[in-house]
Structure 1
Amino acid sequence: MRHRDQAPEVQDARNAAAEGTARRLVVLRHAKSAWPDGVPDHDRPLGPRGLRDAPAAGRLLAGSFGVPDLVLCSPARRTRETWDLASAELDRIPPLRHDPRLYGADARELLDVVREVSPEVGTLLLVGHNPGLEDLVLLVAGAAVGDALERVRTKFPTSAVAVLSRQGVWSDLGPGGALLTDVAVPRG
């Protein structure tokens, strides 16, 4: 039964999740990195704040969204360190692939990566970089719960997590094809 204050898209996403047919795309921007002199961008480590915030992101994932079925992570050092610290907070470690296409990717390139994911994957987690992740969320979110879309438009800071829900296989995901259900910025 639909509540009067819920948009049909919100109720459809909740119904799909209850029926087990929904797909969730969870997007995690890497935690705050350091800028050491002479270190190439790809090799920048997490900074002190990032070392605190990455576990908080893991606790958020564990407490609110559960363990993903698959993690696709940029091979950059700061994304790998973010995932290592976040995943330590989960009950179990999901399958992980470091995909070089995620480093420096724009929204369309990220969408192409997502479309290749097996239909058996119900919850996919991307760990990557801005502006690509923010632009991906804005590209595929056709609607949002509450002010989630405006919050992403305003700022998608380090350690931010966005959750998008949809029905159907990953290969069919296109612009406007998902509901942005949640946005959070965990801090340690």
Structure 2
Amino acid sequence: MSVAEPRRIVLFRHAKADWPQVSDHERPLAERGRRDAPVAGRKLADAGISFDLALCSTATRTRETWKLAVQEMPERPKTVYEERIYEASPGELIAVLNETPDDVHDAVLIGHNPGVQALSEILAADAEGDARQRLNRRGFPTAAFSVLTFTGPWKSLEPGTATLVDYWAPSE
């Protein structure tokens, strides 16, 4: 693939987590999260995005979200569980994405707020349709995702280099 072709990055917040007596990293999905994750997966499948790579936080709730969402997709991409995504700032998430191999066209990052929402806002210089208004109105609730495009190698991804092309959040 040429680096001049647009690439897609989906920023996907984990589904609703439960609050049992475990460490934050080990919190599992709540019942609502187990319902919303497959719905988000179907929405991603309906968008026609065929992921080459999934970068997933090592937290239990993100791993469970991805396991349920990916079952709704026509193809399962290579999945890398990345400790640096847990509690990451937007800058730390950009650093992880900058390491993505250039043969990856479409990637999904399954992570946490506030990092995922902030990264969506920071990367997007422009937006198509009403995607930015929907993101601003809804925020980034659990199981929400944004779809951004950019042109160039992954190492060139930085604030203001992408376009927000879609945003989706489950109804509450």
CA–CA distance in 1 between the matches of 2:89 and 2:39? 26
Question: Counterpart of 1:128?
Answer: 111
Could you tell me which residue of structure 2 aligns to residue 88 of structure 1?
71
Aligned-partner residue type, residue 85 of structure 1? L
Q: 1:111 aligns with which of 94, 98, 104?
A: 94
Question: Structure 1: any 5+ residue segments left out of the alignment?
Answer: 1-19
> 1:126 is paired with a residue of what secondary structure?
strand
In the alignment, the residues of structure 1 paired with residue 26 and residue 168 of structure 2 have an alpha-carbon distance, to the nearest angstrom, of 26
Question: Quick one: percent identity of the two aligned structures?
Answer: 46
Shift of 1:63: 1.0
Instruction: Tell me how far apart the structure 1 counterparts of residues 48 and 26 of structure 2 sit (CA, whole Å).
Output: 29
- CA drift of 1:25 comes to 0.5
Counterpart of 1:164 (choices 124, 131, 148) is: 148
Deviation at 1:174, TM superposition (A): 1.2
Which aligned pairs between 1:60-99 and structure 2 lie closer than 5 A? 60-99=43-82
Q: Quote the offset at 1:128 in angstroms.
A: 0.4
TM-score by length of 2: 0.93
Give the residue type in structure 1 aligned to 2:96.
V
Higher radius of gyration, 1 or 2: 1
* Residue identity in the other structure for 1:111: I
| Matches of 1:180 and 1:99, distance apart in 2 | 24
1:91, CA displacement in angstroms?
1.4
For 1:82 and 1:30, locate their aligned partners in 2 and report how far apart those are by CA, in whole Å. Answer: 6
Distance across 1 between alignment mates of 2:77 and 2:94: 21
Name the CA distance, whole Å, in 2 between partners of 1:65 and 1:171. Answer: 25
Q: Helix, strand or coil for the counterpart of 2:165?
A: strand
Specify the SS of the correspondent of 2:166.
Answer: strand
Q: How many residues align?
A: 168
1:146 counterpart SS class: coil
Residue of structure 1 in register with 2:13 after alignment: 29
Structure 2 alignment gaps of length 5 or more = none
Q: CA deviation at 1:50?
A: 0.3
Tell me how far apart the structure 1 counterparts of residues 87 and 151 of structure 2 sit (CA, whole Å).
Answer: 28
- Residue 131 of structure 2 contacts residue 167 of structure 2 at CA under 8 Å; is this kept in 1? yes
What CA distance in whole angstroms lies between the structure 1 residues aligned with 2:171 and 2:46? 14
CA-based RMSD of the aligned residues comes to: 1.4
Q: Which runs of 4+ in 1 moved over 4 A?
A: none
Say whether 1:50 aligns with 2:24: no
Check whether the contact 1:57–1:187 (CA below 8 A) recurs between aligned residues.
Answer: no
